[in-house]
Amino acid sequence: MMMQRKGLVVALTAATLGAAVGPAMGSEGNGDSPLGNSPIRLVIPFGPGGGSDMTARVLTATAPEFCGPRIDVVSMSGAAGLEAVNYVMNAESDGHTLLVTDYGPIVTSGYVDDVEWSHDDWDPVMLFTEWLPTVYTRADHDIDSIEDWVAQLEAEPNSVTFAHAAPLGIVHLPLILFEMETGLENRHIPTSGGGETRSMVMGGHVDLGMTLPASIAAEVENGTLKALGTFADERADVLPDVPTFKEAGYDVSLPAWLMIFAKDDVPQETKAFLQDCFMEALATPTAVSMSDRTNAGIDPRGMEASADLYRNTVEVVGNILREIGEID
Amino acid sequence: MLEALTDALSLALDPSVLMFVALGILLGITLGAIPGLSGDMAIALLLPTVFYLEPASALGLLVGIYKGGMFGGSISGITFGVPGTPGAAATTIDGYQAKLKGKPNRALHTALYSSVAGDTSSDLILIFIALPLAAVALKFGPVEFFALYAFSLLLISALTRGQLAKGVAACALGILLSMIGRDPIGGSLRMTFGMPELAGGLSLIPVLVGIFAVSELIVQVSKAWAAKSRAIVEDAKEKSKMFSDYDAAADKLPFRDFLKLWKATAIGTGTGTLIGALPGAGSSLAAFISYGLAHRFSRNGDEFGKGSMEGVASAEAGNSATSGSTLIPLFAFGIPGSATAALFGAAFILMGMSPGPTMVRDHSDVIYALFIILIYANLVNLLMGKVLLPYYSKMSMVQPRILLPIVFCLAIFGTYAAGNSLIDVWVLLGAGLLGVVLRLYGFPLAPLILGFIVGPGAERALRQSLLIGGEWSYLFSSPIAIGFYATALGLILLFTLLLRNKA
């Protein structure tokens, strides 16, 4: 009995030590890449399993062949994503630690949170895809179109309840922008996320909701939900019959995006190499197939185009936040 | 349909799928039993394998991890006093007390059988009446959810064992701690004291593990240092003998003894299935409500909190019964009602399926195979549990002075690994200190955890209701909500009358 107990103790101790040192002894890939052998870390400021995670994993599967080292996806959702951003900001400027994010943790947070970096400290390496915020409601709701929505609010201000995830997030700021443009007011009902928003819309507890097209494409197709409009310059591929707000006559467009960022002091040739190898990887049949299967809609753009979009988003978000008094 | 079923059977019963199910369950139990880690983490890490495996094999692996992880969390709770998953927090209340009385094997087997019973019932509900139940789930909006949370808080006396005032205070403290971070409605920061690291609030796992495990370690070490008198040393030696002389074979649970727990198991199963179908409610809420209801309706209510097998059975059945029903909103509407459902939703998407009602129509062979896997995975879980539990029960009776430091190290590693966050580790240690203070002054810990779990949802539901309805009376506008309030008050009155009659 004593020997069995001792054996158990030894096993437990070994397990503890193994958990501690195991990862440090893992292999780090090989290849003659200018980036060397150390893995590239794509740090995501959200929990695992979400759209960002799944999209980034397309690179883990396809990019090592072109970039050289292994590519790891690391989820760090602590401090509402700020921990991930700070982790990348404090990492070596060697191009091995990159941030994969939408504009919330980097643009909005840069304005409203007490951070030790500024928007200029980040350079986009490339863009994975644009996400187009889309307003929707349940199929049997009286509001059938953007015009119906506006008409109801003009007749009865504040009479429409609008559910959205995360205050000042990527599916809330477009609504604020629309209200700034039109002078109309909805009753904003923040939720814990897209799932809760959809439950509340489908259950008839609120009138409208906002989400990204891929989340509701199937329901729109089978007639459970109807999409009213998209806050983008062009229609979403998965919702080709849904007009943009611009087409409806409202000059509001605030697409979200998923980009890879490096710190601005990472050498330019390193960033250029990363851009090239990532773009090559995403053009492979494997990556295209993975993107189709996951509905990720990957449509990559290089550094220059991404930087233009980033700067534009910084400006637009800053204007919105100033207008509503969130920042000076 | 018959052809789809036949295809599904050949898919689901393929030896490679069986192997992946067994592997998944082993992985899930192992990870779930390590404080701080969970089956959800393993599912998230292994999601990319979906690209490379056949759909049925991938689903078998993920289902196995999920079911194993759910039960594994209770192993950690009973064995180490640390809930391995939030859903196991209620199981730990009585499970760990049973272990301290030298009956870990009995408690573990109670948890295993009630887990399998709850899980199987929930899976059958998913398979046969998902759509009607989903339609009921959609009727739950902010008003109904607030009533549910209020109902769960009103059952708190089950967790307080005669210390109602302290229990309420601990619960209030838990709610207060849950409010640290960003206001869910306005977005402003609350109680972060200028630390941006707290913007995301305190995570549940480090608070849970810290309150239970770290405080236990500190208390045990303090007791060892404080043992100055011969009497205390002799008492410690006496207790130590319980560990060194432990015989798992003598600490068995005959199946007929488990059958006597049918009422507690049934309450947990029914409650867990219903609550699991509500998007966002969570397995921990289901477990606590099951525990509270079982306490109310038990003839041996005084035993709850002291190692009662009814307490273990009801909590664990409630926890596990959410496993199948949590997928109902995903299947019926494409809405992920929990983090696990979201991961399964991601897996379906990776397989080229769109979560929602069209999934069954367009991929009937894979979905029916999933249903078959869900059912037989419970049997594999049972068999694997029977094999592993004697080892876990022996492990649990290793001397605390050796076991607790190892559990502490695992808790730190597990907590960090779950979120890659050092902040979580600091929260773990801080929660441990808080747990020590609460224990010193005789405050029960379970109500704090319940308050912490319920707080965010309750606040959000209340404020959403007021935003939608505009006035307080809106909270009573729903028959479902009124039903919850009436039931809670009725139970309190009934319990009070019974106590008076007893006195």
Find the CB nearest B141 among A20, A200, A293.
A200
Q: In this structure, are A140 and A201 located in the same domain?
A: yes
% helix / strand / coil in chain A, to the nearest 5?
Answer: 45, 20, 35
Domain containing residue A170: 134-230
**How is residue B446 annotated by DSSP?**
H
Residue B228's pLDDT is 53
Closest residue in A to B416 (Cα–Cα): A76
Q: How many domains does chain B have?
A: 1
* Cβ contact, residue pair A187, B467, below 8 Å: yes
Q: Is residue A2 part of a domain?
A: no
Q: How far apart are CA A161 and CA A183, in angstroms?
A: 16
In B63-92, the residues whose Cβ lies within 8 Å of chain A are none
Instruction: Tell me the nearest-neighbour CA distance from B380 into chain A, angstroms.
Output: 25
Q: Is residue A30 part of a domain?
A: no
Q: In this structure, are A124 and A146 located in the same domain?
A: no
* Optimal mutation site among B31, B49, B51, interface A, most CBs of chain A within 10 A: B51
The per-residue pLDDT for range A103-129, each reduced to its tens digit, is 999 999 999 988 889 999 999 999 999
Q: In this structure, are A56 and A139 located in the same domain?
A: no
| A282-299: average pLDDT | 85
CB atoms within 10 A of CB A11: 12
Classify the complex by whether its ipTM is higher than 0.95, answering yes or no: no
In B102-121, the residues whose Cβ lies within 8 Å of chain A are none
Q: How far apart are CA A259 and CA B130, in angstroms?
A: 38
* Cβ contact, residue pair B420, A206, below 8 Å: no
**Which CATH number covers residue A198?**
3.40.190.10
Q: What angle, rounded to 10 degrees, do the helices at B55-80 and B309-320 form?
A: 150
* Cβ contact, residue pair A16, B48, below 8 Å: no
Residue A54's pLDDT is 82
> Measured between CB atoms, does B200 come within 8 Å of chain A?
yes
* Optimal mutation site among B189, B246, B464, B471, interface A, most CBs of chain A within 10 A: B464
Tell me the chain B residues in contact with residue A90 when contact means C-beta distances shorter than 8 Å: none
> Measured between CB atoms, does B45 come within 8 Å of chain A?
yes
Residue A252's pLDDT is 94
> Measured between CB atoms, does B331 come within 8 Å of chain A?
no
Tell me the chain A residues in contact with residue B199 when contact means C-beta distances shorter than 8 Å: 79-80, 82, 113
In B447-476, the residues whose Cβ lies within 8 Å of chain A are 460, 464, 467-468
Q: What is the pLDDT along chain B (503 residues), one digit of tens a residue?
A: 667 677 788 888 889 999 999 999 998 888 888 777 777 777 877 777 776 788 888 889 999 999 998 898 899 889 888 888 888 989 998 999 998 888 888 999 999 999 999 999 999 888 888 777 778 888 999 999 999 999 888 877 666 766 788 888 999 999 999 999 989 888 888 999 988 778 888 988 889 888 888 888 888 777 766 665 545 555 555 556 666 666 666 677 777 888 888 999 999 999 999 888 887 778 888 999 999 889 888 888 888 888 999 999 999 999 999 988 888 888 887 777 777 887 888 788 777 777 777 777 778 788 888 889 999 999 999 999 999 888 887 777 777 778 778 888 888 888 887 777 888 899 999 999 999 999 889 898 888 988 998 899 999 999 999 999 999 999 999 999 999 999 888 877 877 777 677 66
Q: Is residue A35 part of a domain?
A: no
Q: How far apart are CA A192 and CA B338, in angstroms?
A: 11
Q: In this structure, are A140 and A224 located in the same domain?
A: yes
Residues B137/B277, Cβ–Cβ less than 8 Å: yes
Q: How far apart are CA B30 and CA B69, in angstroms?
A: 8
Q: Is residue A51 part of a domain?
A: yes
* Cβ contact, residue pair A202, B203, below 8 Å: no
Helix and strand element counts for chain A (H, E): 12, 10
Q: In this structure, are A118 and A161 located in the same domain?
A: no
Instruction: Tell me the nearest-neighbour CA distance from B329 into chain A, angstroms.
Output: 9
| A169-188: average pLDDT | 95
Q: In this structure, are A73 and A215 located in the same domain?
A: no
Burial of B402 (0-12, 13-18, 19+ CB in 10 A): middle
% helix / strand / coil in chain B, to the nearest 5?
Answer: 80, 0, 20
Instruction: Tell me the nearest-neighbour CA distance from A146 into chain B, angstroms.
Output: 21
* Cβ contact, residue pair A199, B406, below 8 Å: no
Q: In this structure, are A64 and A108 located in the same domain?
A: yes
Q: How far apart are CA A167 and CA A163, in angstroms?
A: 10
**Which CATH number covers residue A58?**
3.40.190.150
Q: What angle do CA B398, B400, B404 make, to 5 degrees?
A: 105
Find the CB nearest A218 among B354, B413, B422.
B354
CA proximity to B502, closest of B267, B264, B300, B260: B300
CB atoms within 10 A of CB B25: 31
Tell me the chain A residues in contact with residue B198 when contact means C-beta distances shorter than 8 Å: 79
Tell me the chain A residues in contact with residue B136 when contact means C-beta distances shorter than 8 Å: none
Q: In this structure, are A59 and A75 located in the same domain?
A: yes
- Residue B179 φ/ψ region, left for φ over 0, alpha for ψ in the -120 to 50 degree band, beta for the rest: alpha
**pLDDT of residue A24 exceeding 50:** no
Tell me the chain A residues in contact with residue B403 when contact means C-beta distances shorter than 8 Å: 12
Q: Is residue A216 part of a domain?
A: yes
> Measured between CB atoms, does B324 come within 8 Å of chain A?
no
Q: In this structure, are A162 and A308 located in the same domain?
A: no
Q: Residue B172's Cα: distance from chain center in Å? A: 21
Q: Terminus-to-terminus CA distance in chain B, angstroms?
A: 61
Partners of A259 in the β-ladder: A101, A127
CA proximity to B94, closest of B294, B276, B282: B294
Q: Is residue A55 part of a domain?
A: yes
Residue A4's pLDDT is 46
Find the CB nearest A79 among B334, B356, B423.
B423
What mean pLDDT is reported for chain A?
87
Tell me the chain B residues in contact with residue A19 when contact means C-beta distances shorter than 8 Å: 410, 413
Residues B450/B174, Cβ–Cβ less than 8 Å: yes
> Measured between CB atoms, does B164 come within 8 Å of chain A?
no
> Measured between CB atoms, does B354 come within 8 Å of chain A?
yes
Q: How far apart are CA A238 and CA A240, in angstroms?
A: 6
* Cβ contact, residue pair A218, B358, below 8 Å: yes
Tell me the chain B residues in contact with residue A198 when contact means C-beta distances shorter than 8 Å: 333-335
Residues B76/B88, Cβ–Cβ less than 8 Å: yes
Integer angstrom CA distances of residue B214 from A201, B104, B399, B436: 43, 20, 17, 8
Domain containing residue B24: 2-502
Residue B40's pLDDT is 76
Q: How far apart are CA A62 and CA A215, in angstroms?
A: 25
Tell me the chain A residues in contact with residue B356 when contact means C-beta distances shorter than 8 Å: 218-219, 222, 224
* Cβ contact, residue pair B279, A196, below 8 Å: yes
Q: How far apart are CA B25 and CA B74, in angstroms?
A: 14
Find the CB nearest A12 among B349, B406, B423.
B406
Q: How many domains does chain A have?
A: 2
